[in-house]
């Protein structure tokens, strides 16, 4: 009897001790996570804009129903509630002048920036205030919904292990084999697994499966600002070069990317002909 009760007592003590130890480990882990990735609260939206373009010279200044495209993008971005600040980053005086004219803050960046990401990084270094998150808002999506901008910011804030976030929408079946439409596959938790210009996942029939929810990648992306400093400097990677998709460099280096799914009709403007298309659509939808 005595032995039995003593045994029980020490058993309880062991269990209690074990629970405390588990709690202590969990608390330490929590404290570590909190410390290593403090809540990223401050976000800036940067609209990179350059004048020169092989397919469409002066694109940011193209008039869309009487307003420059860059102004339309900026006005949409200003409606995003998660952004503390919105700036245009450009190397061109004409663009800068136009943007100051409608009230935008402009950061001049060097002509040597190879791409929008580099321009965002340079602009971030030149901003006086510190930001935790940078949203790269493509200037050629004048109908971008502010809710999508807020969505990628919140996605990054809710996923402290991710350094990058972006958005996808449903792929139209007819775009399945269009290499200009980038497809994406994600894991169960909404982290990107891969991006491709080919159809992913691939159905052995060789055709688009009308029942499969394929995802189309949208251009908007947001970065952890510390990650943005190193991103342009990471050497090109094998898959990135083969697919000609910058974002693969992030995944190939083992970083996590959070992906949100949104309802959005992509109306990116690549050529002067796209301007007419978008104007027709805006008239149809009574957007002025
Ligand atoms: C492939 O697509 C067809 C429809 O086109 C679908 O019935 C099938 O389940 C898909 N997957 C496989 C493994 O065949
Ligand atoms: C942008 O350009 C730089 C320099 O050419 C390059 O290293 C980088 O991979 C490009 N893309 C991104 C997303 O940084």
Measured between alpha carbons, how far is 82 from 131 in angstroms, rounded to an integer?
Answer: 12
- C-beta of 206 in contact with ligand 1 (< 6 A): no
- C-beta of 208 in contact with ligand 1 (< 6 A): no
Measured between alpha carbons, how far is 54 from 18 in angstroms, rounded to an integer?
Answer: 66
Alpha-carbon distances, residue 146 vs 10, 58, 187, 240 (angstroms):
61, 24, 26, 29
Residue 33 located in a structural domain: no
Judged by phi (left if over 0) then psi (alpha if -120 to 50, else beta), residue 103 lies in left
Measured between alpha carbons, how far is 264 from 274 in angstroms, rounded to an integer?
Answer: 17
Average pLDDT per 10 consecutive residues for the chain, totaling 288 residues: 40 44 45 59 96 86 95 97 98 96 96 90 95 94 94 97 97 95 97 98 97 95 96 96 97 98 85 91 90
Q: pLDDT value at position 20?
A: 47
Q: What distance in angstroms lies between residue 96's CA and the mean position of ligand 2's atoms?
A: 23
User: Based on the structure, what is the number of domains in the chain?
Assistant: 1
Place of tokens 């499966």: 209
**CATH number of the domain enclosing 217:** 3.90.550.10
Give every CB contact of residue 153 below 8 A, 6+ residues apart in sequence.
43, 80, 82, 83, 133, 135, 165, 222
Query: Which residue has the CA at smallest separation from atom 5 of ligand 1?
Result: 209
Residue 30 located in a structural domain: no
Residue 266 located in a structural domain: yes
CB 263 within 8 A of CB 169: yes
Q: What distance in angstroms lies between residue 232's CA and the mean position of ligand 2's atoms?
A: 4
- Atom number of ligand 2 nearest to Cα 235: 7
Residue 242 located in a structural domain: yes
Query: What per-residue string of b and e applies to 65-94 under the rule 16 or more CB within 10 Å gives b?
Result: eeebbbbbbbbbbeebebbeebbbbbbbee
Q: pLDDT value at position 127?
A: 96
- Atom number of ligand 1 nearest to Cα 208: 5
- C-beta of 223 in contact with ligand 2 (< 6 A): no
**Structural domain boundaries, residue 157:** 39-281
> How many residues belong to the chain?
288
The DSSP call for residue 54 is S
Residue 12 located in a structural domain: no
Measured between alpha carbons, how far is 175 from 199 in angstroms, rounded to an integer?
Answer: 9
Residue 179 located in a structural domain: yes
Q: pLDDT value at position 11?
A: 42
Which ligand is closest in space to the CA of residue 253? 2
- Atom number of ligand 2 nearest to Cα 247: 13
State the Cα angle at 91 between 218 and 231, rounded to 5°: 50
Q: pLDDT value at position 37?
A: 55
Residue 222 located in a structural domain: yes
Residue 128 located in a structural domain: yes
Q: Where are the beta strands (DSSP E) in the chain?
A: 43-49, 63-64, 67-68, 85-90, 105-108, 133-136, 162-170, 183-186, 192-196, 215-224, 256-261
Which ligand is closest in space to the CA of residue 227? 2
């Amino acid at each position: 009897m005595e032995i039995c009760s003593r045994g029980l007592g020490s058993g309880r003590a062991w269990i209690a001790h074990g629970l405390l130890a588990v709690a202590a480990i969990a608390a330490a882990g929590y404290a570590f996570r909190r410390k290593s990735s403090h809540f990223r609260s401050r976000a800036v939206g940067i609209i990179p804009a350059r004048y020169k373009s092989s397919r469409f010279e002066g694109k940011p200044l193209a008039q869309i129903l009487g307003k420059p495209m860059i102004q339309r993008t900026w006005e949409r971005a200003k409606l995003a509630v998660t952004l503390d600040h919105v700036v245009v980053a450009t190397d061109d005086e004409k663009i800068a002048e136009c943007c100051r004219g409608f009230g935008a803050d402009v950061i001049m960046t060097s002509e040597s920036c190879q791409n929008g990401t580099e321009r965002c990084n340079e602009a971030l270094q030149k901003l006086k205030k510190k930001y935790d998150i940078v949203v790269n808002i493509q200037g050629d999506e004048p109908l971008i919904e502010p809710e999508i901008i807020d969505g990628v910011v919140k996605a990054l804030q809710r996923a402290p292990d991710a350094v990058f976030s972006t958005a996808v929408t449903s792929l139209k079946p007819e775009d399945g084999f269009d290499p200009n439409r980038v497809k994406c596959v994600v894991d169960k938790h909404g982290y990107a697994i891969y991006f491709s210009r080919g159809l992913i996942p691939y159905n052995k029939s060789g055709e688009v499966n009308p029942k499969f929810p394929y995802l189309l990648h949208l251009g908007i992306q947001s970065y952890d600002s510390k990650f943005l400093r190193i991103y342009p400097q990471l050497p090109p990677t094998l898959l990135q070069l083969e697919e000609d998709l910058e974002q693969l460099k992030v995944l190939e280096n083992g970083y996590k990317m959070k992906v949100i799914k949104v309802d959005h009709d992509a109306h990116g403007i690549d050529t002067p002909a796209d301007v007419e298309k978008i104007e027709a659509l805006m008239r149809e939808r009574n957007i002025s």
